[in-house]
Amino acid sequence: MRRSFLAVSVLSLSAALPAHADDVTDALQNAITSYEEGDIGYAMEELDYAKQLMASMKADALTGFLPEAPDGWTREVNTEMGAGLAMMGGGTGAEADYSSDSGSFTITLMADNPMVAGMAAALGNAGAMGAKIERVGREKFMVQDSEITGLIDKRILVQAKGDDIDMMLDLLKSMDFKSLADFGR
């Protein structure tokens, strides 16, 4: 039986996955079996499938950082966020729309997307762009027009857009940015 770097890597990865990831471990095992049988094409398909499943798990974990709706508001999570990120270089995203009789806004989280890294310079020059800087906990956010934008750990974009700046700031204050900085590590 031949073992390659691919097979050893997949076995190591599958051993490190949580027990509830049955579809993932099944796909990884199918990839190993197909590889050992010489069916490289199917092995690659199964690896891609396992990667898609894990990306979905990661997106679900990021969604957990979105705050619950405040009293009198509703929250609707956008489950299609990941599809749009694929066209923007990848990464993980989560988004929720919040609404009430008095207005609406959206909070978006984007992690490990190449475009997010470029935001660091813009946020650093917020004052020169005529934007106001607000502290939310230990984090700095740029407030401009109806948009609040911050960068956590130089890799996770937090953005709120909508009608009520004060409500959005209050909701952002409820977020655990320290844990968010550790996301995906």
The residue among 112, 100, 85, 83 whose CA lies nearest residue 171 is: 100
Confidence tier at 152 by pLDDT (50, 70, 90): very high
Residue keyed to tokens 């750990």: 153
Q: What are phi and psi of 97, to 5 degrees?
A: -100, 135
Cα separations (Å) of 95 from 25, 65, 160? Answer: 28, 10, 10
- Look at residue 147 in the predicted model and tell me its pLDDT: 93
In this prediction, residues 81-97 reach a mean pLDDT of 70
Q: Is the pTM of this model over 0.85?
A: no
Indicate whether 1 pLDDT > 50: no
What residue type is assigned to position 69 of the chain?
A: A
Higher pLDDT, 19 or 142: 142
Other CB atoms within a 10 A radius of the CB of residue 3 amount to 11
Q: Give 104's contacts (C-beta < 8 A, 6+ positions apart).
A: 97, 98, 162, 163
Cα separations (Å) of 106 from 23, 36, 52, 172? Answer: 32, 48, 26, 11
The residue among 31, 87, 78 whose CA lies nearest residue 54 is: 31
Confidence tier at 5 by pLDDT (50, 70, 90): very low
pLDDT in tens, 41-77: 999 999 988 888 887 787 788 889 999 999 999 999 9
DSSP SS3 for 69: coil
Please, what is the average pLDDT of the chain?
82
Indicate whether 2 pLDDT > 50: no
